[in-house]
């Protein structure tokens, strides 16, 4: 009887066995996978609108806009190499991280775009010219986008059954990078089809802020979620997790306001998210021998 319980046991964040009925666990995983597929499919249906120009756009303009996407390889290639190192050192599955990237691009990003547009439309109707997108809109974006990325990360982790810090961090990074690439392509497309001269400046601007952008935001909030769910009554650990999530939401909010346009503050905001990420990567819980 004891062996049967151990066989059906789950593993918590510290490697301890927790007895769980295999059938109940299987049903929850199937439900999570179903939700993931449904959200992915619905998000995929919304994507084509972000990549199409006006009705009579010429194929030449499409080529001009789409070819500029290659500029994003400036940060995509280094990130890919970094994740190859990450997978090798921590024995994390590259396919799982690839899945997370697609989920960030086709779940978190489309829903965030719709939510941001709906919020702006509703608040504009309610407040008229008193509504400030630079401040109120930035506040909503900082909360909504981070929660959507974090929710997507949590769902992917749940479906895959991963519970270690390295899995939370890796999945979070890739969900954020998928979100980041989709958002950057959408911004380039929107600006490029409106004014061809804006294509290169927008692409360069997105590259300049890539270091401390969504991939880093989502990684730190995923680590925050890990500390919260593995607190096991440790209030200090739980507060640490909540603090990391609030830090990222606050950083994102300030970055989107006019304050973020000042180079000095932009650099400080980038450092404020990179430093926690580096400290998390160097923590003892990131041991390569830790169970995924």
Mean pLDDT (whole number) for 66-94 = 95
How far is it, in rounded angstroms, from Cα 274 to Cα 264? Answer: 15
Q: How many helices (H) and strands (E) does the chain have?
A: 12, 2
Beta bridge partners of 11: 17
Q: Is 233 left (phi over 0), alpha (psi -120 to 50) or beta?
A: left
pLDDT digits (tens, 9 = 90+) for 91-136: 999 999 999 999 999 999 999 999 999 999 999 999 888 888 889 9
What string of DSSP letters covers 79-114?
HHHHHHHHHHHHT--HHHHHHHHHHIIIIIHHHHHH
**Model-level pTM?**
0.88
Q: Which residue has the higher pLDDT, 156 or 192?
A: 156
Q: Which residue has the higher pLDDT, 261 or 214?
A: 214
If you average pLDDT over every residue of the chain, what do you get?
Answer: 88
Tokens 């519970």 — which residue?
163
Residue length, the chain?
Answer: 292
How far is it, in rounded angstroms, from Cα 37 to Cα 247? Answer: 31
* Predicted local confidence at residue 21, as pLDDT: 57
Does residue 6 belong to any structural domain of this protein?
no
Does residue 4 belong to any structural domain of this protein?
no
- The whole domain housing 280 covers 28-286
Does residue 17 belong to any structural domain of this protein?
no
Does residue 163 belong to any structural domain of this protein?
yes
Asked whether the CA dihedral 104, 110, 113, 119 is positive or negative, the reply is negative
* Predicted local confidence at residue 288, as pLDDT: 66
Does residue 3 belong to any structural domain of this protein?
no
The two three-digit tokens of residue 73, written as one number:
């390889």
pLDDT digits (tens, 9 = 90+) for 239-250: 999 999 999 999
Does residue 21 belong to any structural domain of this protein?
no
How many domains is the chain partitioned into structurally? Answer: 1
Torsion angle of the four alpha carbons 128, 131, 137, 140, in this order, in degrees rounded to the nearest 10: -90
């Amino acid at each position: 009887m004891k062996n049967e319980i151990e066989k059906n046991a789950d593993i918590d964040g510290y490697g301890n066995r927790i007895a769980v009925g295999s059938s109940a666990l299987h049903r929850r995983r199937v439900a999570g996978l179903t939700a993931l597929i449904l959200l992915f499919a619905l998000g995929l249906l919304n994507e084509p609108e972000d990549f199409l120009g006006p009705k009579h756009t010429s194929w030449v303009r499409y080529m001009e806009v789409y070819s500029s996407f290659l500029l994003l390889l400036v940060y995509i290639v280094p990130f890919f190499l970094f994740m190859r190192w990450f997978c090798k050192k921590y024995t994390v599955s590259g396919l799982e991280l690839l899945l997370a990237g697609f989920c960030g691009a086709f779940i978190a990003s489309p829903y965030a775009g719709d939510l941001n547009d709906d919020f702006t439309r509703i608040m504009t109707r309610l407040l008229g010219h008193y509504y400030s997108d630079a401040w109120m809109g930035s506040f909503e974006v900082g909360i909504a986008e981070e929660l959507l990325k974090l929710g997507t990360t949590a769902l992917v982790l749940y479906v895959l059954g991963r519970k270690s810090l390295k899995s939370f961090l890796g999945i979070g990074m890739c969900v954020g990078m998928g979100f980041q690439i989709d958002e950057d392509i959408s911004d380039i497309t929107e600006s490029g089809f409106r004014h061809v001269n804006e294509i290169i400046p927008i692409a360069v601007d997105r590259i300049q802020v890539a270091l401390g952008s969504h991939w880093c935001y989502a990684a730190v909030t995923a680590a925050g979620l890990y500390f919260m769910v593995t607190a096991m009554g440790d209030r200090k650990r739980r507060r640490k997790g909540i603090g990391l999530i609030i830090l990222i939401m606050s950083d994102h909010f300030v970055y989107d306001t006019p304050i973020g346009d000042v180079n000095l503050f932009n650099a400080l905001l980038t450092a404020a998210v990179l430093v926690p990420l580096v400290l998390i990567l160097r923590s003892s819980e990131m041991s390569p021998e830790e169970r995924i």
